[in-house]
Amino acid sequence: MNILNALFKTSLGKKVIMAVTGLILVGFVIGHLVGNLQIFSPPEKINAYAHFLQSLGGALWAIRGFLLLTVVLHIWSAISLVLENKAARGAEGYAGQKTLRASFASRTMKWSGLIVLAFIIYHILHFTTKHAYGPELFMVDLHGEQVLDVHTMMVLGFQKPLVSIFYLVAIALLSIHLSHGISSMFQSVGLRTRAWSNCLNKIAVIVSVLYFLGNAAIVGACLTGAVEVQNAKVKAALAACQADCEVCESRIASIN
Amino acid sequence: MKLDSKIPSGPLEKKWEKHIMEGKLVNPANKRKYEIIIVGSGLAGASAAATLGELGYKVKCFTFHDSPRRAHSIAAQGGINAAKNYQNDGDSVYRLFYDTIKGGDFRAREANVYRLAQVSASIIDQCVAQGVPFAREYGGMLDNRSFGGAQVSRTFYARGQTGQQLLLGAYSALNCQIAAGNVEMFNDREMLELVTIDGQAKGIITRNTISGAIERHSAHAVVLGTGGYGNVFYLSTNAQNSNATAAWRAYKKGATFANPCYTQIHPTCIPVSGDNQSKLTLMSESLRNDGRIWAPKKKGDKRPASQIPESERDYYLERKYPSFGNLAPRDISSRAAKEACDDGRGVGETGLGVYLDFSDAIKRLGEDTIRARYGNLFDIYKEITDESAYEVPMRIFPAVHYTMGGLWVDYNLMSNVPGLFVMGEANFSDHGANRLGASALMQGLADGYFVLPYTIPHYLADVPREAAPSIDSPEFVAAEQDVIGRTQKLLDNNGKQTVRSFHKRLGKIMWEYCGMARNKAGLEKALKEIPALREEYHADVRVPGTADSLNQSLEVAGRVADFLELGELMCRDALAREESCGGHFREEHQTEDGEAMRDDEKFNHVAAWEFKGVDAAPERHQEALEYESVKMATRSYK
Amino acid sequence: MKVKLKVWRQENADAQGGFEEYEADKVNPNMSFLEMMDVVNEGIIEDGGNPIAYAHDCREGICGTCNCMIDGKPHGPENGVTTCQTYMRSFKDGDTITVEPFRAKAFPVQKDLITDRSALDKIQQAGGYVTVRTGSCQDANNLPIGKDIADLAMDAAACVGCGACVAACKNASAMLFVSAKAGQLNLLPQGAPEKDKRVLNMVAAMDEAGFGNCTNQYECSAACPKLISEEFIAKLNRDFIGATLRKNFQAKALD
C-alpha cells in the first residue's frame, strides 16, 4: 500500500485528508479574517492589501488553485465518509437512539458544512462580480496608482440587512463547524490525548468564538454605520441615487 | 476395568522429564495428516488449539459461544499461581506442589500436581510474551500477591481481571493460528455427542446453534476442555451457559467420571436477592482480611444491622476459630455461614446471608484506606445490591464456585476411552478434594500449553495416518440420529412446565442435600427425588420453538436433561465416600469441633464411575492414590 | 414495580422484524434487567409463545456476550456497565422500556436481540496478537515494563468485546474496539516488532468488515461498559500514520 492508497482508500487515511485540509482551511479563514479586520483602519490599508494580493498574478492563481483543491479534498473526504458511514449503519435504524456525549457541533458538521459551502459560493460571487453602481466609481488612487476600492465595496455590501444576516448566520455555522473541527483534527492525526483534550476543546471553542466575533464585528460595524463609506465619488453617487433610477437598471441589464 | 494412571516411575522431580523423553513423537511432515478436535475455547481449549496448531496438527476448535473469547475462564478474578519465587520469599516448585496437594486435602495425584507446579513458571513467561498486562512494580518487574492463605506471594494478577487477560492471551494465540490456517474455528457449535469407533474417540456431533443444523466432525483424537458442572446447582458463580453436556456425553460413551462429589463452595458471594435470581456473584476473598463476619445472636432478628448492639452479635468465626478467625479456609467459613442461617439467624430479606462488617476497619484505618484497598469491590457490591458497604455491613453467602471432579484421565490427560483427552476443569486430576485459590487458571493453561502438546503425540504416533474416519460411517450416522431423536423428543414433549423451573428445583435438591454439608439420609432422599424429577421432566417439560432455528430454550433443555442425570451421580458419589475431605463434607465424619475427618485407610483413592445404562446403577472403580514424596497430615486451622 | 417492554422481534436474519409489547409486573427493583427478561420469557413459554432471544452468559459484566440497546443506549441507562449489570432500580415504575438489538451493517441480526459480532473476531485475527511460539519465551522478568505503561495497556485490555462502541456510534465505527486491541499490544515492548503490520492489517480488516469511520464524537467511549478512553483512537491514528510512512520510506530487506 503506498501513501496515496493509504490516504484515499482507508478510513483512517480519509480522516487524515479531512484533518490536514481542515487545518489549511482553518489557517485560511483566520488569515482572511485578519486581512478583513483592516476595515477598521483607514481605507488605504485594506485597499493596499487587496491590491497586493491582486498583484501577485500567477502566484495568486496558484494559491487559489491550492485552496480550491483543499476545499475539494475536504468535501470529497466528507462525502465519502458520510456515504460509508450511512452504509455502515445498515438498513434498519434504531427506534430511538440517545446522544451520550457528542457535541452539537459534531452532530451538525455535514449541515454546517453544506450551508457554509453555499455561503462561500455566494461570497465569492458577491465580491468579485462588479457592482450595480458602475465599476469606474470603485477605483481609487493609491500612491499614484488606480486600485480597487475594496473598503467601499465591503461597507456597501454589508449595509444591506439581508446580506448581513446571511453572513452572520453563515459565519456562526462556520464557527460551530470549527469548534468541532479544530479539536477533531488533532484526534485524527493522533495528537489528542486525555491529558490535554480538555484544554484542546477549550482552545477550539475560544478560537471559534473569536473567529465569530471578529467577523461579526466587521459586518456589524458596516451595518450600523460605525464604519462608513469614505469614497467621495461613491458617496456622491449614493446621494444622487433614487428609488427608480434608470441608470442603475441599465447598468444591471448590461452586466447580465 | 482397571484405571491405569500411567504415572512414570522414578523420582518425583524427574517423572515429567523422563516421560517426555520416553514418549513417542510424530514426524513434523506427518503432523499435518492428523486432525484433532478440541471442544471448548477457554484457557485449556484455546491454549491447546493454538499450541497444537502451531506444532503443525490440523486442529478444529469448537465453542458454543459466538466467539472463543467468551469462555467462562474470562470471569476468574484473583490471579494465577506460579513458582517463580520473584518475591524471594522461599517459594519453590516443591512448595507450590505441596501447598496444592495439602489444599486438595490429599486427594490429588501426586505426579500430576508436581508437573503442574513444574510448568507453572513457563506459563507466566508465555503469557507475558503474548502481551498479557500483568500488574507491575515501579521498577518494571512483575508484581505478586499472596492469595488463598498461602504463606508466599506467588500469585500473578492483572487487576481483578486475571482470567480475562489470560484468556485473551490464549485467544490471541488462537487467532494467530486461525489466521495462519492451522486451526479451523467453529463458533456457535454445541457438542451433543461423542462418536467412538472400535472404542476409540473419533469425532463429535454438533448442533449449529444459529441455524440448528446437526453436523458430524471426525478426527484422529478428540480433546474436551469444556469446563465444570457447577450449574447443576442452578445458582452458582458459573456463567449461564456453562454446562456438562460434552463431558456427560463422553461419560455415556464409556469415559469414567471421577470424584463428581467434589464441589467447591466459595464463602464470599453476594446473597440471593429474590426468586428470580439467575446468578451469584463472587466478592474477592481478600475482603476477609479486614471485614468481620457476624450474624445476630437472636433467631429471626430483623432489625437493621446498625440497631443490633455489639452484645447481640455473634462473630462466629472468631468465636470458633480464634487463631484463624475470619480468615478460616473456604470450606470451613462456608459451612459456618450455612449453620448460622439454618439456625434462623440469617440476615437480609431472604434470611440467607451473614454480615461482613467493615465498620471496625473503617474506624481503625479510615474510610480512605478501605477505599484504596477494596474500592472496586465495594463499587461492584453497590452496583448489584444498591447498598454502600461503607455505611452498612456487606451481606455475603456461600455459593457454588468450582467443581474439582470431572472425567477421569491418566497422566497423559487421556480418559479411559482411547483418543479422548480431557483438560482443565473438565478433568479431575490436579485439585484433589479442594482447589486452592489462583490454581484453576494455572491448571487450564498448563494442560493446554505444556502438557497435552507433549502427551497427545504419544497417542497419535500409534494411530494410522490415513484420513480421519469418514463422517458417513455408520457410527457417525447413528450418533447423529441419537442427537436428532433426543432433540426432537424434547420439542415434541408438549408439557406444561418450563425448563428453568425444573433446573431450579434440581438446584434446590442439590444445594440442600449435596451442598456444603452432606449426610446419608439427605443424600438418599436426593437419590429418590432426582430420578423422580427427571421422570417428571421428560414427561412434562415444555420446550418451545423448532430444531432448525436459533432456539435457546432447546439448548438449555438438553443441558438440564444432562444435569438431571449428573446430579444423581454426584449424590451417589457423595454417599459412597464415607469421609469428609476438602469440598466434600459428610456430617457423619467430623471431629468434635466440626472439622473434616478423612478416612485415609478406606478412601485414599479416586472414585471413577462407569456408565452402565440409563436405568442401571453406574459402577464405582477405584484408582488408589500413592504418595511417594508427601506425608499425609490433617489440616488444622484453630 | 411494573414496566412495559417494547422489544424487537425478528425470527431470523432474513425475516422482517418489528416491535412487540410485553408487560412485566411484580418486578423487584433489585432484579437485573436480564432476570426481568427471564421472567417475561417464562411467562411467554407458559402461554405457549416463543420466548425472546437475547445473548447473555457470565452475568457479571466480563464476558461481553450480552448486548441490548435499552432505551436508545447500549446496555441501558447507567454508565460503565453491561446489560447484565443493569438493574431494574434504574427504571421507574410504569416505564416503557424499548429494547433493540445492537445495529450495524457489520452486526447482522440473527434473531430478536441477538446479533452476529464475528466481524470483531476477524479484525483480531488480522493482527491482534503477538506471534510467539509456545515455550520459546524468555523469563518474564527479563523484560521490565514501567508500571504506567503496564497500567495503560491494562486500561485498553479491559475491553470485553461487546460491540457497544459500534452500536452507539452514529457511523457504526469499530475504532474504539480496534484501537483498544491494537493499542494494548502496541504500548508494550512485546508488541513492538509487529506493531506496524498489526496496525495496517487491523485497520484494513476493520474497513473490509464494513464498519463506519470515526467522526470523533466519542459516543463509543461514553457507551463502553469499561469506559475505555477515546485516546486509544488517537493513538491508533498516530500509529497508522507512522506505520504508513515507515512502510514507504524505511529500508526493507529483499523479498
The verdict on residue C222 lying in a domain is yes
Query: Rounded to the nearest 5 degrees, what angle is found at the Cα of B596, between the Cα atoms of B593 and B598?
Result: 130
Q: Residue B288 — pLDDT band, cuts 50, 70, 90?
A: confident
Judge whether C59 lies within some domain.
yes
Q: How would residue B373 be classed by pLDDT, with cut points 50, 70 and 90?
A: confident
Residue A252 banded pLDDT, cuts 50, 70, 90: low
In a domain, C255, yes or no: no
- The verdict on C122 and C146 lying in the same domain is yes
Across the interface, of C31, C35, C154, the residue whose CB is closest to B158 is: C154
Domains of chain A: 11-85+105-241 (1.20.1300.10)
Residue B493 domain-assigned? yes
Whether B68 shows a pLDDT value over 90: the answer reads: yes
Residues of B with CB below 8 A from C17's CB? none
In 10 A of CB B386, how many CB atoms? 13
Residues 6+ apart with CB under 8 A from B305: B347, B355, B357, B392, B393
Structural domain contains residue B501: yes
From C111, C132, C165, the end of a domain falls on C111
Using CA atoms, how far residue A107 sits from A113, A181, A184, in Å, is 11, 11, 12
Residues of A with Cβ-Cβ distance to C173 under 8 angstroms = 11, 85, 88
Q: Judge if C155 and C79 occupy the same domain.
A: no
Question: What pLDDT does residue A253 have?
Answer: 62
Q: Residue C8: its chain A contacts at CB < 8 A?
A: 95
Neighbouring chains to C with at least 3 Cβ pairs closer than 8 Å:
A, B
> What cell was used for A131?
457592482
Closest residue in C to A18 (Cα–Cα)? C215
SS (H, E, C) B69-105: HHCHHHHCCCCEECCCCCCCCCCCHHHHHHHHHHHCC
Residues 519-578 (B) with a CB less than 8 A from some CB of C: 542, 544-545, 549-550, 552-553
**Residues B285 and B369 occupy one common structural domain:** yes
| Interstrand relation of C18-24 and C3-9 (parallel, antiparallel or unpaired) | antiparallel
Rg over alpha carbons for chain A, rounded to the nearest Å, is 22
Residue C59 and residue C177 in one domain: no
Contact present, B198 and B400 (Cβ < 8 Å): no
Q: What is the CATH number of the domain that holds C184?
A: 1.10.1060.10
- The per-residue pLDDT for range C41-100, each reduced to its tens digit, is 999 999 999 999 999 999 999 999 999 999 999 999 999 999 999 999 999 999 999 999
Same domain, C87 and C124: no
Closest partner residue to C137 (CB to CB) among B129, B165, B277 is B129
Please tell me the predicted confidence (pLDDT) of residue B149.
Answer: 60
Which domain-ending residue is among B347, B371, B400?
A: B400
- What are the catalytic residues of B? 330
- CB neighbour burial string for A73-106, b if at least 16 within 10 angstroms, e if fewer: bbeebbebbbebbeebbbebebeebbbbebbebb
* C24 and C39 housed in the same domain: yes
Output the CA torsion sign for B316, B321, B325, B326. negative
Burial of residue B372 (CB within 10 Å: 0-12, 13-18, 19+) is exposed
Q: Is B440 helix (H, G, I), strand (E, B) or coil?
A: helix
Of the candidates B603, B598, B605, B607, the residue with the CA atom closest to the CA atom of residue B625: B605
Single out the residue of C82, C235, C103 nearest to residue C166, CA to CA. Answer: C103
Distance from the B457 Cα atom to the nearest Cα atom in chain C, whole angstroms: 16
Query: Which residue(s) pair with A116 in the sheet?
Result: none
Those of residues 24-53 in B touching chain C at CB distance below 8 A are 47, 50-51
Count interface pairs B-C at CB distance under 8 A.
218
Last residue of a domain, one of C111, C132, C147: C111
Question: Is B174 among the domain residues?
Answer: no
- Dump pLDDT digits (tens) for B117-157: 999 999 999 999 999 999 999 999 999 988 766 778 999 99
Residue A11 to residue C173: CA distance in whole angstroms: 10
Calculate mean pLDDT across residues A244-248: 68
Identity of the residue numbered B607: A
Digit-coded pLDDT (tens) for B83-127? 999 999 999 999 999 999 998 999 999 999 999 999 999 999 999
The pLDDT of residue A142 is: 84
What pLDDT does A126 receive? 78
Contact C171 A1 (CB under 8 A): no
Strand pairing class (B394-403; B263-269): antiparallel
Contact between chains at A189 and C238 (C-beta distance less than 8 A): yes
Element (H, E) at C111: strand C109-111
Domain contains C254: no
Q: Are C178 and C236 in contact (CB under 8 A)?
A: yes
Nearest residue of A to residue C232 by CA position?
A: A193
**How far apart, in Å, are the Cα atoms of B156 and each of B137, B286, B438, B442, B446?**
12, 15, 9, 10, 15
Instruction: Give the nearest chain C residue to A4 (CA atoms).
Output: C244
Residue A246 has pLDDT above 80, yes or no: no
Confidence band for B638, pLDDT divided at 50, 70 and 90: low
Which chains have 3 or more CB–CB distances shorter than 8 Å to chain A?
C
Mean pLDDT for chain C? 96
Instruction: Domain of residue C202: give its range.
Output: 118-249
Cβ neighbours of residue C64 closer than 8 Å, sequence gap 6 or more: B69, B70, C82, C160, C161, C162, C163
The nearest CA of chain C is from the CA of A104 a distance in Å of 10
Residue B369 falls within a domain, yes or no? yes
Residues C224, C191: one domain?
Answer: yes
* Predicted pLDDT of residue B319: 92
Q: How many domains is chain C partitioned into structurally?
A: 2
Poorest-pLDDT segment among A104-118, B36-50, B268-282, C116-130: B268-282
Query: What percentage of chain A reaches a pLDDT higher than 90?
Result: 70
Residue B252, exposed/middle/buried by CB under 10 A (0-12, 13-18, 19+)? middle
| Residue A224 near residue A159, CB atoms below 8 Å | no
Our CA-based measurement puts residue A69 at a distance from the nearest CA of chain C, in whole angstroms, of 22
Dist CA B363 CA B375 (whole Å)? 16
Which of C98, C104, C207 is the closest to A11 by Cβ? C207
Q: How far is B170 from chain C (nearest CA, A)?
A: 9
Nearest to C224 by CA among C154, C168, C183: C168
In a domain, C106, yes or no: yes
Please indicate, yes or no, if residue B465 is contained in any of the structural domains.
no
Tell me the pairing of strands C3-9 and B292-296.
unpaired
Chain C residues within 8 A of B142 when measuring between CB atoms: 140-141
Segment among A161-165, B214-218, B414-418, C54-58 with least mean pLDDT:
A161-165
Give SS3 for B356: strand
3-state SS, residue C32: strand
Q: What is the pLDDT of residue A243?
A: 64
Cell numbers 452572520 correspond to A168
Mark yes or no for CB contact C85/B384 under 8 Å.
yes
Is residue C163 located within the same domain as residue C63? no
Range list of β-strands (E), B474-576: 497-498, 541-542
C101 lies in the same domain as C137? no
Closest CA to B246 of B470, B62, B88, B372: B62
CB-based contact A187 C6, cutoff 8 Å? no
Answer yes or no: do C244 and C129 share one domain: yes
Same domain, C208 and C86: no
Cβ pair A97:C210 closer than 8 A: no
Q: Which of A5, A98, A104, A193 is best to mutate for the C interface (most C CBs within 10 A)?
A: A98
Name every chain B residue with its beta carbon within 8 A of the beta carbon of C10. Answer: none
What's the CATH number where C106 sits? 3.10.20.30
Residues B393 and B505 in one domain: no
Say if residues B207 and B190 touch (Cβ distance below 8 Å).
yes
CA-nearest residue to A89 within chain C is: C104
Q: B72–C51: do the CB atoms touch at under 8 Å?
A: no
Record: contact C211-A2, CB cut-off 8 A: no
Residue from C134, C154, C208 whose CB has the most chain B CBs within 10 Å, to mutate: C134
**Boundary (domain end) residue, out of B366, B400, B434:** B400
Q: Are residues C42 and C123 in the same domain?
A: no
Interchain contact B273–C (C-beta under 8 A): yes
**Residue C227 distance to chain B (closest CA, Å):** 14
Q: B492 and B370 in one domain? A: no
- Tell me which of C111, C135, C159 is where a domain ends: C111
Q: Which domain holds residue B366?
A: 266-400
Q: What is the ipTM of this complex?
A: 0.98
**Domain membership flag for residue C53:** yes
Strands B605-610 and B619-624: antiparallel
| B504 in contact with C, Cβ within 8 Å | no
Confidence of residue B633 (pLDDT cuts 50, 70, 90): confident
Q: State the pLDDT at residue A254.
A: 59
How far apart are the CA of B366 and the nearest CA of chain C, in angstroms? 26
Residue B483: exposure state from Cβ atoms within 10 A (0-12, 13-18, ≥19): buried
Residues with pLDDT less than 50, chain C: none
Q: What is the 3-state secondary structure (H, E, C) of chain A?
A: CCHHHHHHHCHHHHHHHHHHHHHHHHHHHHHHHHHHHHHHCCHHHHHHHHHHHHHCCHHHHHHHHHHHHHHHHHHHHHHHHHHHHHHHHCCCCCCCCCCCCCCHHHHCHHHHHHHHHHHHHHHHHHHHCCCCCCHHHHEEEECCEEEECHHHHHHHHHCCHHHHHHHHHHHHHHHHHHHHHHHHHHHHCCCCCHHHHHHHHHHHHHHHHHHHHHHHHHHHHHHHCCCCCCCHHHHHHHHHCCCCCHHHHHHHHHHC
Comparing C-alpha atoms, which of B266, B283, B372 is closest to residue B329? B266
Q: What is the pLDDT of residues B449-474, one digit of tens each?
A: 999 999 999 999 999 988 899 999 99
Q: Centre a 10 Å sphere on the Cβ of residue C249 and count the other Cβ atoms it contains.
A: 8
State which of B374, B400, B426 marks the end of a domain.
Answer: B400
How many structural domains comprise chain B? 2
pLDDT at B298 over 90: yes
C107 and C123: one domain?
A: no
Instruction: Give me the CATH number covering residue B500.
Output: 1.20.58.100
> Which CATH number goes with the domain that contains B379?
3.90.700.10
**Alpha carbon of B505 to those of B397, B554, B563, C59: distances in Å?**
20, 18, 12, 21
Query: For residues B8-38, b (16+ Cβ closer than 10 Å) or e, as one string?
Result: beeebeebbeebeeebeebeeeebebbbbbb
Please indicate whether, in this complex, the C-beta atoms of C170 and A197 are within 8 angstroms of each other.
Answer: no
**Length reported for chain B:** 638
Q: Do B391 and B272 belong to one domain?
A: yes
Is A248 a residue whose pLDDT tops 70? no
